[in-house]
Amino acid sequence: MNIINTSLVFIFTFLIAQLSFASSCSVDLEGNNMMQFSSTSIQIDSSCSKFTIKFKNTSNLDKEIAGHNVVVSKSSDFDELTNLVDPSNGMNEGFLPSNSKVIAKTPFLGPNESYDLVIDVSRLNSGDNYVFWCSFPGHWGIMKGDLNL
């Protein structure tokens, strides 16, 4: 009987640990009508192997006029990457060419569209500073936040 009780406690503790682990490896993020993200800072727990930004565009503007997306890069690569933004690269690419300095990105989203952006945490170093930003022309001056491990 004692063994069974001990086993149940162990299994229960394990399940709770899994649940809290899962909840800490994702965050909800919205982009709105005012060209603002709902958060300006994202902290990733180093125990996460993958981290998901659950992004939703709550704006009512068509994505061709003012779509929103999320790009993750090092802070030090931000200027170089924003200079590469060109609509000829397409909405699905966030107007960005293929570039190894882009750690993760979503397509541009229109009203009420959402996208789960999965970040490979092994690509982040705890000593470096990262940013998440919207690569729609004119947006990243405001739509930019810090992301750290």
Task: Give the distance, in angstroms, between the CA of residue 63 and the centroid of all CA atoms in the same chain.
Answer: 19
Q: How far apart are CA 51 and CA 144, in angstroms?
A: 18
Pairing of strands 50-57, 104-105: unpaired
Stretch that binds Cu ion, among 18-26, 47-55, 60-68, 116-124 (CB under 5 A): 60-68
Query: Based on CB atoms, which residue is closest to Cu ion, 71 or 149?
Result: 71
Task: Give the distance, in angstroms, between the CA of residue 20 and the centroid of all CA atoms in the same chain.
Answer: 19
- Shortest spacing between CB 11 and Cu ion, in angstroms: 45
- Shortest spacing between CB 121 and Cu ion, in angstroms: 25
Query: Based on CB atoms, which residue is closest to Cu ion, 72 or 143?
Result: 143
- Shortest spacing between CB 146 and Cu ion, in angstroms: 17
Q: Which long-range contacts (CB under 8 A, 24 or more apart) does 22-27 make?
A: 24/48, 25/50, 25/51, 25/52, 26/51, 26/52, 26/53, 26/54, 27/51, 27/52, 27/53, 27/54
* 68 belongs to the binding site for Cu ion (CB under 5 A): yes
Query: Based on CB atoms, which residue is closest to Cu ion, 105 or 139?
Result: 139
Residues contacting Cu ion: total by CB under 5 A:
5
* 105 belongs to the binding site for Cu ion (CB under 5 A): no
In the region spanning residues 111 to 140, those forming contacts with Cu ion, defined by CB under 5 A, are 134, 136, 139
Q: How far apart are CA 95 and CA 108, in angstroms?
A: 9
- Shortest spacing between CB 144 and Cu ion, in angstroms: 10
Q: How far apart are CA 116 and CA 58, in angstroms?
A: 15
- Shortest spacing between CB 95 and Cu ion, in angstroms: 11
Chain contacts with Cu ion (rule: CB under 5 A)? 68, 134, 136, 139, 143
